[in-house]
Amino acid sequence: MATSATLSYSSYHTYQECPLRWKFLYVDRLPETPRGYFTFGRVVHSVLEEIIRPLVVPTARRVKEGDAQRTLDEWHPTGTARPPELTLTQEEMLAAYDRIWSGEGYTSPEEEARYRTLGRDLLLRYYTRLVHERPHPVSVEEHLEARWDGIPIHGYIDRIDRSPDGGLEIMDYKTSRELSGEDARQSDQLSIYQILVESNYTEPVAGLTLYHLRSLTAHRVPPRPRTALLALHDRLGSVQDGIRAEAFEPTPGRQCSRCDFQSRCPEFRPVPPSEDQRLRELVDRFETLRQDERRLEEELRRTAEELHRAAEGFGVHRIPGTRSVAIRRREETWQYTLNGLRSQVTEAGLDERIGKGTPDEVRSVLRDPAVDPELRRRLAEAGTRRIKWYWEFDEGSGGS
């Protein structure tokens, strides 16, 4: 059911882009067309998991009573902090890559071959980096869940490392073409991961990293401050409210070009062929009427202004026509700006009488002789009078 959805970053982002696409994916469970770049990312992540998992030394978790886990001492009885050795050789890594490889979603054999070569090069360069800069992972590809102030969230985190200062470093691999430090600073995905790790681990989060695999660049940023997390919580709450209310209207945008559900979307679904001609004529008629409406509104405005000028010039309020009499009416309104007078209103004990500063509230005070005359004068000067003239018609009183 949509009302009980647990939000991942992906589902949250999908709803923000288009609530209707979220419904197609998470309520209707409609499949999407496989795409090569997604397949490529999954394959590379899977190989990286096989490389890193033997290096994992778990750390303290917020576990239920009776659960067991490995500790740092179990891995290193001497108490040293040296990480375990790589157990997967370079040849074994490439064999795993060939075993895991999938050609799903590529548009041509040439595209698949380019991606496959890219993946081998990327993994070989990353393996060399690991040999010289051994990480201290405490988990890899871990699924975490939490309830963040009433909002259920979950996510699969590529890697969690022990940082040099003893905290935890959250790392998310990216195989995209481009990535920058600004992407890491603005990433809602990393923010959600921070909440998940803080909710499941006893040690603090020391840093957040988007790791760009193509350039072997770690874009590391500090953990999010509470103000940023509260803003994200509000956005997640808005998404949760929309899902609960079943608000699944489409939101057209650039994302539509890669959406598989255009044939189901009212933004793109064609009208029935049998109704096509009738609806075309109806649209054309509506467009013509809308243009007539704008023209008539402009003509009405000019005619009213000409009548006002005539009424003011001749000093009259009633102008007869052949069918009715046009009667000029006057409407007067007042507005008061009390920002500079609030302290004086408070000192005079008038806060309850002028709570919102509406014209009726202020004018009731202006008419009260018990109020200090100087304050009443200043309140009156804070007012602006607006006069609006309009016309009414007295039908049946026209001249001949």
Please report, in tens digits, the pLDDT of each residue of the chain (400 residues total).
445 689 999 999 999 999 999 999 999 999 999 999 999 999 999 999 999 999 999 887 765 554 444 444 444 333 345 567 788 899 999 999 999 999 999 999 999 999 999 999 999 999 999 988 889 999 999 999 999 999 999 999 999 999 988 899 999 999 999 999 999 999 999 999 999 999 999 999 999 999 999 999 999 999 999 999 999 999 999 999 999 999 999 999 998 988 999 999 999 988 999 999 999 999 999 999 999 999 999 999 999 999 999 999 999 999 999 989 999 999 988 888 888 788 888 888 888 888 888 888 898 988 999 999 998 998 888 889 898 999 999 876 655 4
- What is the C-alpha separation between 268 and 250, in angstroms, rounded? 10
- Number of Cα atoms under 13 Å in the Cβ half of residue 307: 21
What would the DSSP string read from start to end of 8-30?
PHHHHHHHHH-HHHHHHHHTS-P
Residue type, 339: N
The topology under which CATH files domain 2-263 is: Lambda Exonuclease; Chain A (3.90.320)
| Ramachandran bin of 336, using left for φ above 0, alpha for ψ from -120 to 50, beta for the remaining angles | beta
Label residue 150 left, alpha or beta by phi (over 0 means left) and psi (-120 to 50 means alpha).
left
Whole-angstrom distance, CA of residue 394 vs CA of residue 323:
9
pTM above 0.75, yes or no: no
Neighbours of 170 (CB within 10 A): 26
If DSSP states are collapsed to H, E and C, what string results for 352-385?
CCCCCCCHHHHHHHHCCCCCCHHHHHHHHHCEEE
The CA distance from 209 to 159, in Å, is 10
Burial of 274 per CB tally in 10 Å (0-12, 13-18, 19+): exposed
> At 151, phi and psi to the nearest 5?
-105, 115
User: Which residues, including other chains, have CB under 8 Å from residue 292's CB and lie 6 or more apart?
Assistant: none
